[in-house]
């Protein structure tokens, strides 16, 4: 199914495999608070393909049932997905919870509270990475993260180099949703985007040092088109010999700011 629906991406991976090369992938799903049928479907897909899955959980409203459900899912880890997923942007601005329009002290308090809440729920399954809602974060909030025990930030798009004292980025690059239409991307569009990502990474670096390609999903928002696309993407990239899926802790640890603890 995946090769039929994603022929360009499949061909790009075949080329890499023929050269004895591979690319790294990772998977982040946003907006978890509790156990739902959609979450079960997400977990089932990850387990069926034996893939690591990063669940970005919203601290405010996160339920113990969520922690209990994923406790025995070996490949699942949790990231801090903001505090309440609340929009604080002024009227007319793009939605953001941690934009530069907010006082730094208020944002620091919420980030610290979010981390503490999720640590209490998930323990060692929580990784020290911050996922700002809507993939937007202001410079002030970004600068706060390492001192709050969150040396990695995950947004959408190519990673920018981390300056002194700033968090490193572990980003996503293929969103399966067409948010304007509120439906899944067409297989043809997703195929074009994924093939472009694979080819760009292969061209940039043959040694595997480039950032991994990140798949972004939102289990609560998916229609059937989005679910079928997720299945096609993970089936292709999980089964292909040119696809590698490192452990999530290894990906996060590799990007730590020197001197920031393992929190």
Whether residue 263 is contained in a domain is answered as no
Q: How confident is the model at residue 209 (pLDDT cuts 50, 70, 90)?
A: low
Range of the domain at 81: 2-253
Residue 263 vs residue 115, higher pLDDT: 115
Q: Which long-range contacts (CB under 8 A, 24 or more apart) does 113-118 make?
A: 113/59, 113/83, 114/59, 114/60, 114/80, 114/82, 114/83, 115/59, 115/80, 115/148, 115/149, 115/150, 115/263, 117/59, 117/60, 117/62, 118/57, 118/59, 118/62, 118/78, 118/80
Q: Which two tokens stand for residue 9?
A: 């991406």
pLDDT over 70, % of the chain: 94
Question: What is the number of domains present in the chain?
Answer: 1
Whether residue 260 is contained in a domain is answered as no
β-sheet bridge partners, residue 174? 215
Per-residue pLDDT, 18: 95
Per-residue pLDDT, 202: 84
Query: How high is the mean pLDDT of the chain?
Result: 93
Q: How confident is the model at residue 3 (pLDDT cuts 50, 70, 90)?
A: low
Q: How confident is the model at residue 256 (pLDDT cuts 50, 70, 90)?
A: low
Per-residue pLDDT, 208: 47
Whether residue 261 is contained in a domain is answered as no
Whether residue 258 is contained in a domain is answered as no
Cβ proximity of 174 and 226 under 8 Å = no
Whether the predicted pLDDT of 215 surpasses 90: yes
Whether the predicted pLDDT of 82 surpasses 70: yes
Note the pLDDT tens digit of each residue in 29-40. 999 999 999 999
């Amino acid at each position: 199914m995946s090769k039929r629906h994603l022929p360009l991406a499949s061909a790009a991976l075949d080329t890499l495999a023929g050269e004895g090369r591979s690319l790294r992938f990772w998977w982040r799903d946003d907006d978890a608070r509790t156990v739902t049928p959609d979450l079960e479907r997400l977990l089932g897909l990850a387990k069926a393909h034996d893939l690591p899955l990063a669940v970005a959980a919203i601290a405010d409203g996160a339920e113990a049932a969520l922690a209990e459900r994923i406790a025995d899912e070996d490949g699942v880890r949790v990231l801090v997905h903001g505090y309440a997923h609340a929009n604080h942007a002024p009227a007319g601005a793009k939605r953001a919870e941690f934009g530069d329009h907010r006082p730094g002290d208020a944002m620091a308090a919420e980030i610290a509270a979010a981390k503490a809440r999720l640590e209490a729920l998930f323990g060692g399954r929580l990784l020290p990475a911050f996922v700002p809602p809507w993939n937007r974060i202001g410079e002030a909030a970004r600068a706060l993260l390492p001192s709050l025990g969150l040396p990695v930030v995950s947004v959408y798009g190519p990673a920018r180099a981390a300056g002194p004292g700033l968090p490193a980025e572990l980003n996503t690059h293929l969103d399966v949703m067409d948010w304007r239409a509120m439906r899944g991307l067409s297989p043809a569009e997703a195929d074009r985007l994924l093939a472009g990502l694979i080819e760009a990474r292969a061209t940039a670096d043959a040694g595997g040092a480039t950032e991994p390609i990140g798949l972004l999903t939102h289990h609560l928002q998916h229609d059937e088109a989005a679910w079928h696309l997720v299945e096609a993407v993970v089936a292709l990239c999980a089964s292909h010999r040119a696809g590698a899926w490192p452990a999530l802790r290894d990906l996060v640890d590799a990007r730590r700011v020197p001197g920031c603890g393992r929190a």
